[in-house]
Chain A
């Protein structure tokens, strides 16, 4: 288990419980009552902490090393009925962007998402979830494939941003993202986008145009990370907490501003505390949303999607 700074009281309680269990084993004394009490305290404390997370703490939870990543969602949702597909058919296969057809309760869906790694080696292999242009083009290729066979699309968004490398620029990172925004508006199948971790800027939006855009409770979505925002606007890295508040990047803020369509509740203690429950909740949400979206005429669904994004923004007459 990895603990975040503000999770210190939880770590302490868990350690106490662990100690009691060990002493129970060694000495053969029954301490189940004491353990029960501690577990109740732990639950209460977890609720207390997680019901009161500030924006910066949510950013930290969204990056929690134990948090489930895209492929884990897909594996659990499809119970292994998943065929991963590779390559953009132009230059290469981007390991930071994964996708393929999968089955949920008898229904075929195209899943696409950024993929992070959970070990040093895998983090590098997945380029920290930062896709190159070929990742966005692979995503678009798979979306067109889904459209061809009239299958709905679900994207899982979890990225600190599109990769800002030299080759990414050579191969047109800007064009690749722009093309996706444009083409996703016109997809004739239902599109659901779920932010499961970090939703950083154009790199997130590049697979984020959907009929329903949802955020998990403890994720963030904005035009820039609080750290980079701090460095640009305050000219120091020290204002990330202030920046995280100013950016209004939490699910609650984004929904309140009409920039997303819904929030998906996380288990007590965050997605990482109970991944199975998280997967079940996400599965239920996908099925519910698809039931609604299925009933719409494809042309009307596209119109509504386009009109939704066209309505975003606040201006005043001078």
Chain B
């Protein structure tokens, strides 16, 4: 049945494909199997109209949800990986980058943009899982750094939406040091007295969790997002038992004290903007 063909491909992560869907194609929720039109699904912030399942989405969708009138200016949008190690596994890393760029229309696993969130001018970095599993290499680190610079230069809050399997192995040592680089940059943002909000979405694991994703002045997550350092498969192998229900879910991580709150995607923009206003300098209203 060709109706459901798109389901396997990850639905909304591919922005170029999305624009081409003719009306009348359907989305089926992988959780409750409820069927809705793509229009209904996107109107509902890409969550299920029946069970609230939060489909994985990318920067294109998050920017449209968060920025007022979907208006924003991209920062450092032209950067791509330099393949510093000339890495070859079963494929050439250079070729992998080239084909991924062609397939996704993205340059790497993060996009950074400046715009207004419910009136609050902000810089948002948003990761794209569609790009090699949202893995962090030099480009992610550099764009994150440029985003923080933009925030500092203009006195704006910085927000990062994480969605990543962790390090980009093909950049090995360089990838590892992006954990240090992003953390270093956040000390500069803190010196400037500007807020950093980390939004953890499904999934956030590995080196991203062990660096900027856990360093928010406020850490927020989407419902049921998988959040952890080691992936569940590795933990399961380590302990040699099945994992308890809900292990490493956003709810579990909140309960253990590493998140400030969980927010449904439909409320993300208003809660985020309110949180930012509460941390930014007071703008007293004169009567």
Do A and B interact with each other, yes or no?
yes
* Chain A residues in the interface with B (C-beta under 8 A): 162-166, 168-175, 177-179, 181-182, 185-186, 201-202, 205-206, 208-209, 221-224, 229, 232-234, 243, 246-249, 253-254, 257, 259, 305-306, 309-310, 312-318
Binds A, one of B37-45, B118-126, B208-216: B208-216
Cβ–Cβ contact A172 & B258, under 8 A: yes
Point out the residues of chain A lying under 8 angstroms from B83, CB to CB: 314
Min distance, Cβ B87 to any Cβ of chain A, angstroms = 6
Q: Is the CB of A171 within 8 A of B256?
A: yes
What per-residue 1/0 map shows which CB atoms of B189-224 lie under 8 Å from chain A? 000000000000000001101111111000000000
Cβ distance B277 to chain A, nearest Cβ, rounded Å: 25
State whether A309 touches B207 (Cβ < 8 A).
no
The interface residues of chain A lying within 8 Å CB-to-CB of B256 are 170-172
Q: Which 6 residue pairs are nearest across A and B when measured between Cβ atoms?
A: A164-B230, A174-B209, A313-B138, A314-B84, A174-B229, A181-B183
Binding site for A on B (CB under 8 A): 78-85, 87-90, 107, 137-139, 141-142, 145, 167, 169-181, 183-188, 206-207, 209-215, 228-230, 234-235, 238-239, 243, 247-248, 256-258
Query: A313 touching B90 by the CB < 8 A rule?
Result: no
Contact of B173 among A229, A259, A315 (CB under 8 A): A259
A182 touches which of B187, B206, B230 (Cβ 8 Å): B187
Complex partner residue of A178 from B89, B183, B188, B239, CB under 8 angstroms: B183
Instruction: Provide 6 A-B residue pairs closer than 8 Å at the C-beta atoms, listed in order of the A residue.
Output: A164-B230, A175-B209, A175-B214, A306-B184, A313-B177, A315-B138
By a CB distance below 8 angstroms, the chain B residues around A168 are 229-230
Q: A202-B210, A205-B176 are in contact. Are A318 and B138 (CB under 8 A)?
A: no
| Shortest CB distance A239–B (Å) | 8
Residue of A nearest to B230 (CB): A164
Residues of B within 8 A of A175 (CB): 209, 214, 258
Interchain CB contact under 8 A, B80 and A185: no
Complex contacts, A164 vs chain B, CB 8 Å: 229-230, 234-235, 238
Q: How far is the CB of B191 from chain A (nearest CB, A)?
A: 9
Contacts of A162 in B (CB 8 A): 210, 229-230
Q: Which residue of B lies closest to A136 (CB)?
A: B210
- A233 in contact with B141 (CB, 8 Å): no
A223:B176 contact, CB within 8 angstroms: yes
